[in-house]
């Protein structure tokens, strides 16, 4: 796992207990990965010009790109990337300088752009594009390019958001036990 982590300007990723990082993933710079989380194959996460914070029991699936927006005169704080607890980021997603709450599922190939805010308990469909500075309200399914609020989530879907995270904690534990 150590080869997956790199410092940038003297700042290295901080990894909490009982996490899994695939050997082919690359985490660079100011990144914190929460307890029981996982970063899968071919993920690229660059906390080089701002920071990335990933919560507990969150999984970042294969081929995903995580990045941030640098500080500037126009954006003095820049735009970090924050991802809450119990979040599932599907395969080949791109998240850039956005903020995700807790218990979210981001479908495969989705793109979430700078300044977007995703509140808790949200499903984002596969291939969805979330434009800059949009807010996705808690308790809904969003789909499309650009995204549209499709419908309220059903009770079973809300329960699945947490279960999806649990499924990946279990899979991560299987990988760690080998």
Output the CA–CA distances (angstroms, integers) from residue 13 to 59, 66, 93, in the order listed.
16, 13, 21
Domain that holds residue 35: 2-177
Q: Tell me which of 3-12, 57-66, 86-95 is least confident.
A: 3-12
> What percent of the chain has a predicted confidence (pLDDT) above 70?
98
Residue 42 burial by Cβ neighbours in a 10 Å radius (0-12, 13-18, 19+): middle
Work out the mean pLDDT of the chain and round it to a whole number.
96
Output the CA–CA distances (angstroms, integers) from residue 51 to 72, 129, 159, in the order listed.
15, 23, 30
Q: How many domains does the chain have?
A: 1
Q: How far apart are CA 167 and CA 88, in angstroms?
A: 10
Q: 1 falls in which pLDDT band (50, 70, 90)?
A: very low
Q: 17 falls in which pLDDT band (50, 70, 90)?
A: confident
The CATH number linked to 159 is 2.160.10.10
Model confidence over 88-110: pLDDT tens digits?
A: 999 999 999 999 999 999 999 99
Q: Tell me which of 2-11, 18-27, 66-75 is least confident.
A: 2-11
């Amino acid at each position: 796992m150590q080869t997956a982590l790199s410092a940038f300007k003297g700042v290295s990723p901080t990894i909490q207990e009982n996490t899994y990082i695939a050997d082919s993933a690359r985490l660079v710079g100011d990144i914190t990965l929460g307890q029981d989380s996982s970063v899968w194959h071919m993920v690229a996460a660059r906390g080089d010009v701002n920071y990335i914070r990933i919560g507990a029991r969150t999984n970042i699936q294969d081929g995903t790109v995580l990045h941030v927006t640098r500080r500037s005169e126009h954006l003095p704080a820049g735009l970090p990337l924050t991802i809450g607890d119990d979040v599932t980021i599907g395969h080949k997603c791109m998240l850039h300088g956005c903020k995700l709450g807790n218990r979210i599922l981001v479908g495969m190939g989705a793109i979430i752009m700078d300044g977007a805010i995703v509140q808790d308990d949200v499903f984002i469909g596969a291939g969805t594009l979330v434009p800059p500075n949009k807010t996705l309200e808690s308790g809904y399914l969003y789909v499309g390019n650009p995204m549209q609020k499709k419908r309220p989530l059903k009770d079973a879907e809300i329960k699945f958001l947490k279960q999806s995270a649990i499924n990946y904690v279990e899979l991560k534990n299987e990988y760690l036990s080998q």
